[in-house]
Amino acid sequence: MTTKRRIEITTETSEVVVIRRPQPLASRWCELCREPVGMVRPEQAAILAGISWREVSRRVEAGTVHFNETPDGLLLICLKSLLPL
């Protein structure tokens, strides 16, 4: 009688995203958080959250993430609302 052995190997991976910018992260006042928070552009928000740019836009339109719009029309996403701890 032969005995069969089964070996199971599990691999865990992780990913780190680094956004290098010439200037430090923009810290602006978030009206809904009521404190200064880190703000990023929608493209950076998508990378950090692991979602598409379109999904970031949907969340902005739905009001599920906080955002500020600068006087020159630049949209900035609140990191605290995007990546809750």
* φ, ψ dihedrals at 68, nearest 5°: -125, 150
Between residues 14 and 25, the one the model is more confident about: 14
Residue 4 gets which letter from DSSP? Answer: -
Q: Confidence class of residue 13 from pLDDT cuts 50, 70 and 90?
A: confident
Give the 3-state secondary structure percentages of the chain, helix then strand then coil, rounded to 5.
Answer: 25, 20, 55
Structure tokens at 11: 């691999």
In this prediction the pTM is: 0.66
Residue 19 has pLDDT above 70, yes or no: no
Q: Where are the domains of the chain?
A: 26-82
pLDDT at residue 78, as a whole number: 93
Residue at token pair 């979602």: 51
pLDDT at residue 85, as a whole number: 55
Q: Which residues contact 30 (CB under 8 A, 6 or more apart)?
A: 36, 37, 39, 66, 68, 78, 80, 81
Residue-wise pLDDT for 28-78, tens only, equals 899 999 999 999 999 989 988 899 999 999 999 999 999 999 899 999 999
Report the alpha-carbon distance of residue 29 to residue 34 in Å, rounded. Answer: 7
Q: Which of 24, 18, 77 is nearest to 53 (CA)?
A: 77
